[in-house]
Structure 1
Amino acid sequence: MKPIRRPSTAVASAAPRRAGAPTLTAPPLDYTYDGTFEGLLTVLFTVYDWRAAPNSIQPEATAQSGLFTQPAHRATDETLAARVWEGLLKTMDNEARARLYHVFLSEDADRELLIFRYVDLALRSPVDISENYANADVRRVQRLAQMMFREKHRMEAFVRFEKTSDELFHATIEPDMDVLPLIAAHFTKRYADQRWLIYDRRRHYGLYYDLTRTDIVQFENPAGRKATDISATVLDEREPLFKHLWQTYFDHVNIPERKNLKLHRRHMPLRYWKYLSEKQPREVRFEPIKNKQTIVGKEISAGQKLLPRG
């Protein structure tokens, strides 16, 4: 298991703004990298070191070279990546820099070139560009960062754990964006007293907390079997009861007269429902709480006092 490493987002003191950037005079290249954020930062360093603008920047596993450009693979250099990451604070503040990491995690089809264009614009601008919304790239970065924030918030709210017989709390998610690196701190802090695993079914990796630290984990996926399949025999014997109690709570706090399915789906999109306990088929039919009684043809709520007749 490999410890999680995320770019530092600690607030840094203001640094003098660097004027200008090297002119990219060499023929453009098709850059490839290993698909990691550190690998992309290494490519950014190489662009200015070689003075060669990117015609494309693609993960090596899925790269497609152009007809009139030269392919150039760059191996990840963590020292250079750290140098670039820290150097970005010379041209943008910490919040704007964090947006670039969020754009990378968004898995947008144009994310690599978008990040390069944003960085290049920042390097060549004498003023802060983070709120220059007249620029299409700045608007796109801001938009993707907002989408990532919403997806992160939903995952923190919609994760539902199941307890196994060996005291491990397991949850499966399938977000549109790669949010696991962003929700790790939240769940580590909130569930620090229990072992848990959150598995991203779409990206085939997960977060595992062992009461000491949170690691990134990957599992072998035997042919014909889903990596997240859990046999009922490994669940805690009380898990069906916990699920039933959660569904009962959800049903009783619901107010049928105020039902607004359109608004409900807006705040809780359908794509999340298959992993939510309260949205699973009920094993026991729901019965409303019988908290009313009828006296002399008049319905009154439980606890309401009756005035004595004169």
Structure 2
Amino acid sequence: MSHSLTPVPSGKAATSTGAVRTQAKAPQLINPPLDYAYDGSFEGLLTVLFQVYDRKSAPNSIQPLGAVQGGLFAQPVQIDTDEAMAARVWEGLLRYMDKEARTRLFHAFLSEQPDRELLIFRYADLAMRAGRDIAENYADDNVRRIAGIAQQMYREKHRMEAFVRFEKTSDGLFHATIDPDFDVLPLIAPHFTKRYADQRWLIFDQRRRYGLYYDLTRTDIVEFESSGPQRNTDISATVLDEREPLFKLLWQSYFDHVNIPERKNMKLHRRHMPLRYWRYLSEKQPREQRFEPIKNKKPIG
């Protein structure tokens, strides 16, 4: 899992305009294939790609260190992450694809698909063998899969940006806990940093045990250690701002009053707001107290 807000630092590249020109093709991988292991970061995977061509040995497998399954007669070659190599590979990809296509490779990595490393290698290798951009070569299964994953990641990113609800703690921190299908925190960081630039906030991914923390100056990755699994997405009531229950009630009351029962269409509603996101929404939680209009007021006249 990559905890980088951006994959690797971008340097000056001759292809910064996005134009992709035909380049020299990648070297032939003439040596026996190898099993590679890396630290699980995106920079680590880019370092593996560098080593594949440096060693001229195609990968049988590329596995994070925590998930390595060695064979009976061979152990994976462990590749240490080298940020300079990773940056070189990341910028070098622009010789064979535009920035949008390159970004899709990062999104494929964040998707956490079981074979994402080999998929990214095959896509990059195909582009380098062609010497040009292959983004529209949908006859190839790898291209189709990368495009499909990119669409899934976009939908998950968009829904997280739309459905995340914050709760205010007693020290003024706005907190939200999420459990997305994919590792989208690096993708939603720019949106929340820009939209909530005037308040401190924390978005915590409980499945992956890390979060984004904004301190009014910058957004950083924060990690949490836990002694056991935590399934509860709620914050303890003792740390919430005393006004938070009122805010929740007012928000629920607003949605109750703008609702038009005669126009209810639950099938369409679930299409635009799938059930798995309802846990984040205050308006979808059980009503602890029904909103009642003030009854001791009499109309004028």
What letter is aligned with 2:31? Answer: A
What letter is aligned with 1:6? Answer: P
The answer to whether 1:154 aligns with 2:155 is: no
Number of aligned positions between the proteins: 289
TM-score normalised to structure 1 length: 0.87
Q: Classify 1:233/1:132 alpha carbon distance in 2 versus 1 (closer, same or farther; 3 Å).
A: same
The answer to whether 1:12 aligns with 2:16 is: yes
SS across alignment from 2:208: coil
Q: Classify 1:79/1:90 alpha carbon distance in 2 versus 1 (closer, same or farther; 3 Å).
A: same
In the other structure, the counterpart of 1:172 is: 177
The alpha-carbon deviation at position 231 of structure 1 amounts to: 1.6
Structure 2 gaps of 5+ residues are 296-301
Distance (whole Å) between structure 1 residues aligned to residue 10 and residue 194 of structure 2 = 17
In the other structure, the counterpart of 2:46 is: 41
Which of 72, 78, 81 is matched with 1:76 structurally?
A: 81
The answer to whether 1:185 aligns with 2:190 is: yes
In the other structure, the counterpart of 1:251 is: 256
Can you list the C-alpha shifts for 1:81-106, whole angstroms capped at 9, x where unaligned? 00000000000011100000000001
SS across alignment from 1:178: coil
The alpha-carbon deviation at position 233 of structure 1 amounts to: 1.3
TM-score normalised to structure 2 length: 0.90
Distance (whole Å) between structure 2 residues aligned to residue 287 and residue 267 of structure 1 = 30
Distance (whole Å) between structure 2 residues aligned to residue 224 and residue 15 of structure 1 = 47
Q: How does 1:197-212 map to 2 (within 5 A)?
A: 197-212=202-217
Give the conservation status (yes or no) of the 8 Å contact 2:97–2:132: no
Q: How does 1:58-207 map to 2 (within 5 A)?
A: 58-67=63-72, 70-207=75-212
What letter is aligned with 2:45? Answer: L
Distance (whole Å) between structure 2 residues aligned to residue 120 and residue 217 of structure 1 = 34
Percent of pairs with identical residues: 72
Give the conservation status (yes or no) of the 8 Å contact 1:28–1:53: yes
The alpha-carbon deviation at position 67 of structure 1 amounts to: 4.5
Give the conservation status (yes or no) of the 8 Å contact 1:91–1:122: yes
Structure 1 gaps of 5+ residues are 291-310
Distance (whole Å) between structure 2 residues aligned to residue 181 and residue 55 of structure 1 = 29
SS across alignment from 1:86: helix
Q: Classify 1:9/1:100 alpha carbon distance in 2 versus 1 (closer, same or farther; 3 Å).
A: farther
Distance (whole Å) between structure 2 residues aligned to residue 289 and residue 69 of structure 1 = 76
Distance (whole Å) between structure 1 residues aligned to residue 293 and residue 117 of structure 2 = 54
The answer to whether 1:221 aligns with 2:219 is: no
The alpha-carbon deviation at position 80 of structure 1 amounts to: 0.0
What letter is aligned with 2:280? Answer: Y
Can you list the C-alpha shifts for 1:100-150, whole angstroms capped at 9, x where unaligned? 000000111111000000000000114421111111110000000010000
